[in-house]
């Protein structure tokens, strides 16, 4: 008993020390910033840190948004309601899912916890996959930023914009259908073997929960999910920052010499950079002089569906086999679609 | 002690959340947040900061409540417990270290803007990113692209009303039904876009010296690309950090700026080539003010504006080291 008590005090002190450290750093932030020693750190390291923090600080509000929506779903949407809204026919449900993805203004960080929660609530896996790939591209903000970035004063049609949006819509349905075929009989792909049905029956037990306790629960769920996903975001952001700092972009041009190899290069590049789908159009447009439109569209379609930072988050939430199938399917489908669109149709 | 110590984890998590909130607050108070996040994204940072404070406090209360109240977390035992951090102690330490790392590195390492090393890796653009593959990559041998902007400008000058009507019709055809859904588009549709740069070019032509500021940086770059011929011989003044490509000669430097849309991950580098005998006196990453005369030049087959007969002087880093696309929504 006594050791446990001591342990408890030790833990309290540990937390106190951490909080104290944060407060101290907060107060002396300015003098640290100006200190000689720290300013002599190699500038490459500081560049990595700048990009790393920048990605983390930018992604965090969107992850929080995602986990809040997820915990609202958790508390207010029952499995029964969800079942009623999903068409019985698995294939027929794909199109409304892609359309719904277009309405949800969520980027690729925020969509992950939302999809996980919906699947947990009993939404079919392949519908979740449609959301996962459609929502980050088919959304008003991405539409607007792509529109500006590829606005061309000397031509009236914005082919990049329409190719990007059209492909996202069609491919999300195709990818959803493939997932339906592959995981039809094995749709338990979330990590942690939670039987779907006895998940949250407590909502209907005994006393009805008060509004206060509902809000409290929403907060608790939000924190838990943030800590579950946040670590993967941070690792992903760090690796992406390394690539951002040390990858020389001239190298890309020397690898991607023809249309198809440059498409592959830009897809790989989109994966490594882990940009937010709301800003990637501007990065893509800076490559216009040296890369073909085909490879830029590949960059814009593939990046939001799948990137380094997202892969880490997916591994946190889904079984490895699912994530691997996801990576392979998305990669092949996007590449094939781009090749067909630009090789044959346009 | 095999059981999962909920209260301790809630407590540590609460403190980490407060640490994040403090980091954001510190960056906002010192203004250094500008090195990381574009102004346009700031509302989201405020949201994140507030939420972290709130959640941090809630977590710490949760940790104390747990001790005397068993049924606190309503899910009780049948809730999914996948949010617990599993594994031995070292895994838990590692996981929390991952969260503490950005807070510490954010506080301790100096806040600075990206520098010229990175500019080299990114590849610099002599012109505007918003534009216009056509205006740039025509080298000596494709006269087509180079004349397009000029002839359009001429068309406008000869018959402004007819030209505008023409544009109006064209843009109506192209934008079509999407206009209703996307209001921003109404604002920035084709006609507006052309009109804006044409008007801006006219405006700049009236000025005695073209002053490139943070606010008009990318617009001036675009206009110089589009209508370079109209500006040859005019004076231009600009502030940027010094940057050199590997193949530059001694008298060549670039006054460069990083642009940022959301965060530094999407930063691009835009620069103006300057020719000056004093160029060797300035090291990379120094901030300089440059004033000189615009001439039409070439770099790697690209037609670019070059500033000659320049007067150069070192200046302080501007308050807003990055430049941002000029449209806000």
Q: At A139, list the tokens.
A: 């959304």
Residue A18 in domain: no
Q: Are the C-beta atoms of residues A300 and A174 closer than 8 Å to each other?
A: no
Residue of A nearest to B67 (CA): A8
Q: Are the C-beta atoms of residues B128 and B222 closer than 8 Å to each other?
A: yes
Residue A132 in domain: yes
Q: At B109, list the tokens.
A: 């390492």
Residue A5 in domain: no
How many angstroms separate the CA of residue B292 from the nearest CA in chain A? 27
d(CA A107, CA A112): 9
Residue A69 in domain: yes
Contact A29 B171 (CB under 8 A): no
Range scoring the smallest mean pLDDT among A14-28, A245-259, A297-311, B79-93:
B79-93
Residue of A nearest to B43 (CA): A61
Residue A4 in domain: no
Q: Are the C-beta atoms of residues A55 and A234 closer than 8 Å to each other?
A: no
pLDDT given at position B191? 56
How large is the average pLDDT for residues B210-219? 82
Q: What is the distance in angstroms between the CA of the first residue and the CA of the last residue of chain A?
A: 76
d(CA B252, CA B33): 33
Question: Taking the model in full, what pTM does it have?
Answer: 0.76
Q: Are the C-beta atoms of residues A301 and A338 closer than 8 Å to each other?
A: yes
pLDDT at A1 over 50: yes
Partner residue facing B51 (CB), from A33, A64, A201: A64
Please check whether residue B303 touches A, CB under 8 A: no
Helix axes A293-305, A259-273, angle to 10 degrees: 30
Q: What is the distance in angstroms between the CA of the first residue and the CA of the last residue of chain B?
A: 55
Residue A59 in domain: yes
- Give the model confidence (pLDDT) of A143-179 as tens digits: 877 887 776 655 566 788 889 999 999 999 999 999 9
Domain that holds residue A227: 49-345
Residue A33 in domain: no
- Residues of chain A above pLDDT 90, percent: 13
Q: What are the DSSP calls for B214-273, one per residue?
A: TTTHHHHHHHHHHTHHHHTT-EEEEEEEEE--TT--TTEEEEEEEE-SSBGGG-EEEEEE
Helix or strand holding residue B292 (H, E): strand B287-299
Q: List all residues of chain B from 217 to 256 with a beta carbon under 8 Å from chain A.
A: 226
Range scoring the smallest mean pLDDT among A75-84, A127-136, A145-154, B155-164:
B155-164
pLDDT given at position B133? 38
Contact A194 B82 (CB under 8 A): yes
Give the residue ranges of DSSP H helices in A121-248.
Answer: 125-134, 140-149, 159-182, 211-246
Q: At B61, list the tokens.
A: 């209360």
How many angstroms separate the CA of residue A47 from the nearest CA in chain B? 6
How many alpha carbons lie under 13 Å from residue B310 in its C-beta half-sphere? 28
* Residue A344: pLDDT band with limits 50, 70, 90: confident
For chain B, domain boundaries: 6-108, 116-323
- Residues of chain B above pLDDT 70, percent: 70
d(CA A157, CA A2): 76
ipTM given for this complex:
0.77
Contact A276 B265 (CB under 8 A): yes
Residues of B in contact with A315 (CB under 8 A): none
Residue A127 in domain: yes
- As to burial, measured by CB atoms within 10 angstroms (0-12 exposed, 13-18 middle, 19+ buried), residue B302 is middle
d(CA A189, CA A193): 9
């Amino acid at each position: 008993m006594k050791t446990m008590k001591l342990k408890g005090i030790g833990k309290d002190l540990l937390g106190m020390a951490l909080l104290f450290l944060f407060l101290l750093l907060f107060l002396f932030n300015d003098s640290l910033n100006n200190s000689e020693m720290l300013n002599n750190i190699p500038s490459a390291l500081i560049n990595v840190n700048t990009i790393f923090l920048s990605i983390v600080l930018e992604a965090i509000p969107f992850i929080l948004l995602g986990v809040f929506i997820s915990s609202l779903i958790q508390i207010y949407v029952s499995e029964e309601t969800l079942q009623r809204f999903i068409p019985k026919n698995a294939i027929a449900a794909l199109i409304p899912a892609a359309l719904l993805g277009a309405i949800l203004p969520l980027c690729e960080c925020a969509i992950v916890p939302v999809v996980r929660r919906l699947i947990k609530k009993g939404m079919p896996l392949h519908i979740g996959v449609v959301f996962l790939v459609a929502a980050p591209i088919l959304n008003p903000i991405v539409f607007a930023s792509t529109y500006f970035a590829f606005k061309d004063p000397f031509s009236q049609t914005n082919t990049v914009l329409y190719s990007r949006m059209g492909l996202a819509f069609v491919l999300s349905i195709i990818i959803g259908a493939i997932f339906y075929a592959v995981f039809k009989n094995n749709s338990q792909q979330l990590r942690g073997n939670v039987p779907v049905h006895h998940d949250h029956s407590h909502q209907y037990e005994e006393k009805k929960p008060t509004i206060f306790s509902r809000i409290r629960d929403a907060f608790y769920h939000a924190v838990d999910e943030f800590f579950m996903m946040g670590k993967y975001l941070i690792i992903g952001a760090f690796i992406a920052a390394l690539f951002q700092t040390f990858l020389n972009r001239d190298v890309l041009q020397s690898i991607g010499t023809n249309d198809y190899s440059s498409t592959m290069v830009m897809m790989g590049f989109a994966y490594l950079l882990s940009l937010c789908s709301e800003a990637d159009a501007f990065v893509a447009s800076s490559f216009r002089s040296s890369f073909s439109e085909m490879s830029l569209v590949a960059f814009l379609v593939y990046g939001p569906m799948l990137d380094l930072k997202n892969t880490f988050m997916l591994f946190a939430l889904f079984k490895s086999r699912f994530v691997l199938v996801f990576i392979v399917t998305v990669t092949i489908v996007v590449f094939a679609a781009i090749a067909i669109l630009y090789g044959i149709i346009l | 002690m095999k059981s999962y110590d909920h209260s301790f984890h809630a407590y540590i998590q609460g403190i980490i959340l407060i640490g994040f909130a403090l980091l954001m607050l510190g960056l906002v108070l010192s203004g250094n947040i500008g090195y990381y996040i574009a102004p346009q994204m700031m509302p989201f940072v405020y949201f994140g900061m507030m939420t972290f404070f709130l959640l941090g406090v809630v977590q710490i209360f949760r940790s104390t409540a747990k001790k005397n109240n068993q049924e606190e977390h309503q899910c009780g035992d049948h809730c999914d417990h996948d949010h617990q951090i599993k594994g031995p102690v070292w895994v838990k330490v590692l996981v929390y270290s991952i969260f503490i790392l950005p807070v510490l590195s954010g506080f301790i390492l100096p806040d600075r803007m990206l520098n010229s090393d990175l500019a080299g890796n990114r590849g610099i653009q002599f012109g505007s990113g918003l534009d216009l593959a056509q205006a740039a990559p025509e080298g000596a041998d494709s006269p087509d692209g180079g004349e397009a902007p000029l002839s359009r400008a001429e068309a406008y000058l000869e018959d402004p009303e007819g030209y505008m009507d023409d544009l109006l019709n064209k843009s109506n055809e192209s934008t079509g039904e999407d206009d209703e859904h996307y209001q921003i588009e109404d604002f920035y549709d084709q006609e507006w876009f052309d009109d804006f740069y044409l008007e801006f070019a006219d405006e700049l032509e009236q000025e005695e010296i073209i002053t490139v500021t943070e606010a008009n940086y990318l617009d001036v770059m675009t206009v110089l690309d589009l209508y370079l011929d109209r500006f040859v011989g005019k004076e231009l003044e600009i502030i940027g950090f010094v940057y050199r490509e590997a193949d530059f000669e001694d008298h060549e430097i670039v006054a460069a700026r990083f642009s940022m849309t959301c965060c530094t991950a999407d930063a691009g580098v835009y620069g103006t080539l300057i020719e000056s005998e004093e160029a060797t006196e300035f090291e990379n990453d120094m901030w300089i003010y440059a004033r000189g005369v615009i001439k039409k030049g070439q770099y790697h087959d690209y037609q670019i504006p070059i500033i000659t007969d320049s007067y150069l002087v070192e200046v302080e880093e501007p308050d807003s080291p990055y430049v941002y696309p000029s449209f806000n929504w």
